A and B are shown apart, each in its own frame.
Chain A
Amino acid sequence: MQPQGMVSSADAAASALEAGDGGSPSLIRTFLQGRGSSAVADGTFRNLMMLCSLSIFAIVAFIAWELVKGSSASIHEFGFAFFRTETWDPVSGEFGAWPFIYGTLVSSLLALLMAVPLAIGVAVFLTEMCPRPLRGPISFLTELLAAIPSVVYGLWAVFVLVPLMRDHIGPFLLKTLGWTGFFGGYNMGIGMLTASIILAIMILPIISSITREVMTAVPISQREAALALGATRWEMVRIGVLRNARIGIVGGVILGLGRALGETMAVTMVIGNSPQIAKSLFAPGYTLASVIANEFSEATGDLYLSALMEIGLALFLVTILVNALARLLVWAVTRGAPARVA
């Protein structure tokens, strides 16, 4: 509460500042003294905030614990080999996670490969070149992409992207890049590449909006420093803006990667759901998240269920590992240089 709020007129304000009769303290003094010491408030605030941040640790630890507990049967049966076994055969009771780990990593990294340049392009256009009146609508549209539920992306992929892939993009890639071996075999339109494309579209908005934010935060003086050296527009963006924003951009990319690794619905609808490792990106694959979603309800037998739990554990570990690696990379690249503009 503000002390001014207690008095209505200038006279009252004046008298509020003066000492009252008989040396009693002024209105404001009394008010301020009544506020008490800050020790309790500060202490409470600190503990409350600490509790909030500790709850995150607690939640993570709890999830990890539950996953380990749920998958203990599978861990006993297969040991560490679970993560590198290629067979997934519920009928004969053989379970290995490697095809799913492979599918998750490859689809997500391919998605990043496509989404990052595009997202940075969108952000550069929006912050440095776009005519002012178009800026709002375009950023709104990119952010709207993030709000579409993933099942809708999946439907769109099934009805639009899959035929497109089968009849146009696939044959074109086969003709131009077939010699690499990455685009060969039977192309049904569903498979690793289609899943990566839909993932790329889904993570584009988050990467581009974060990139846009950090680029906007780079001070004009850095742009002017580059321009004054005779930099062209692109050179100015490169050394005066992107270089200064790189840590924030990597942060955005990591968030996008996190989303790609865990994305379930849209991927399940187009990846083909076949636990195999193929060189051709036209071939179907499977991801950790998809196999859990697909098989959990029909898992019969404790070992099957336990193996699926361990798949969840694998997804958890992959996510943590990839994030740690990405941060290590940032640290290695930017070591010595300050992270942001002074």
Chain B
Amino acid sequence: MGVGIRVTNLNAWYGDNHTLQDINLHMPANNATALIGPSGCGKSTFVRCLNRMHETNPIARATGSVMMGDLDIYKDASPVEVRRRVGMVFQRPNPFPTMSIYDNVASGLRLNGFRNRRVLDEVVERSLRSAALWDEVKDDLKRKSGASISGGQQQRLCIARALAVDPEVLLMDEPASALDPVSTSKIEDLIFQLKSQYTIVIVTHNMQQAARVAENTGFFLNGKMIEFAATHKIFTNPTDKRTEDYITGRFG
């Protein structure tokens, strides 16, 4: 089950570049939240602050608080503990090429010392089913490498890999932007299914995608969050002029 995320006064830097400025928002549990905005406005940075991936970059820094349920991820937990609870799917599919499909999905559990074969088998199947990939790969789970399947399948494999550790939050940074339209629509269906069980944060450049999958949408511009509201409100009746300009395609 997912948990709500409350972000308070989040600031992030790359060196001297103040990439995120005073971000405040609340994403409810078991909902999908879409983040939109022009390239370079800080969406990826924001998402990477939610699993403390931001700080893996040696020049990066962040301040503020991010509460996931009752947990302050910057105070009460180590980055590794945070990432065990928060799954992430990247823009470019990054399966482990030297592992089989099965091993890819099992990798998160195995990392944590989980060895029970029977349960692993079950989890792998369930995760692949949730990621709508099971039927396509069930015959060569252990024969094929994670990199030998198509790009769309690889991305669903990465989703399955993230789901296998039963995260509370699933972060997706433009998960479909490197994929063809058919794969994209599969991923969207998937997000629609998954959000009843997980809190999903999805960055997208595609307005229709945001409109289709997300209850709430946040609009970012130049490192600030300009507007955060119910998706239908953002798309039909935005409060801020800049949001309106962006969604009507007047810039960005």
Q: Do A and B come from one complex?
A: yes
Could you list which residues of chain A lie within 8 angstroms of chain B, going by C-beta atoms?
132, 219, 221-232, 235, 239-240, 243-244, 246, 334, 336-338, 340-342
Other A-B pairs beyond A221-B90, A225-B158, A229-B87, 8, CB < 8 Å: A222-B94, A224-B53, A226-B96, A227-B83, A228-B51, A239-B111, A338-B147, A341-B97
B162 at the interface (CB under 8 A from A): yes
Q: List 27 A-B contacts (CB under 8 A).
A: A219-B94, A221-B92, A222-B96, A224-B56, A224-B88, A224-B90, A225-B94, A225-B158, A226-B111, A228-B86, A228-B87, A228-B90, A229-B83, A229-B84, A229-B107, A230-B85, A230-B165, A239-B99, A239-B111, A244-B97, A334-B98, A337-B98, A337-B99, A338-B97, A338-B98, A340-B97, A342-B147
Contact A246 to B97, CB < 8 A, known contacts A221-B90, A338-B147: no
Give the chain A neighbours of B148 by CB distance below 8 A: 338
Q: List the A residue with the shortest CB-CB distance to B161.
A: A229
Could you list which residues of chain B lie within 8 angstroms of chain A, going by C-beta atoms?
51, 53, 56, 58, 79-81, 83-88, 90, 92, 94-100, 107-108, 111-112, 143, 145, 147-148, 158, 161-162, 165
- Shortest Cβ gap from A131 to chain B (Å): 9
Give the chain A neighbours of B86 by CB distance below 8 A: 228
Give the chain A neighbours of B51 by CB distance below 8 A: 228
Q: List the A residue with the shortest CB-CB distance to B82.
A: A230
Give the chain B neighbours of A240 by CB distance below 8 A: 96
Contact of B53 among A227, A239, A337 (CB under 8 A): A227
Q: CA–CA, A122 to B222, complex, Å?
A: 42
Give the chain A neighbours of B56 by CB distance below 8 A: 223-224, 227
Give the chain B neighbours of A228 by CB distance below 8 A: 51, 53, 83, 86-88, 90, 162
- Shortest Cβ gap from A332 to chain B (Å): 14
Contact A225 B97 (CB under 8 A): no
Q: CA–CA, A232 to B79, complex, Å?
A: 9
Q: CA–CA, A219 to B53, complex, Å?
A: 16
Q: CA–CA, A230 to B158, complex, Å?
A: 14
Q: List the B residue with the shortest CB-CB distance to A233.
A: B80
Give the chain B neighbours of A235 by CB distance below 8 A: 111
Contact B83 A230 (CB under 8 A): yes
Q: CA–CA, A337 to B147, complex, Å?
A: 9
- Shortest Cβ gap from B185 to chain A (Å): 24
Q: List the B residue with the shortest CB-CB distance to A221.
A: B94
Contact B84 A243 (CB under 8 A): no
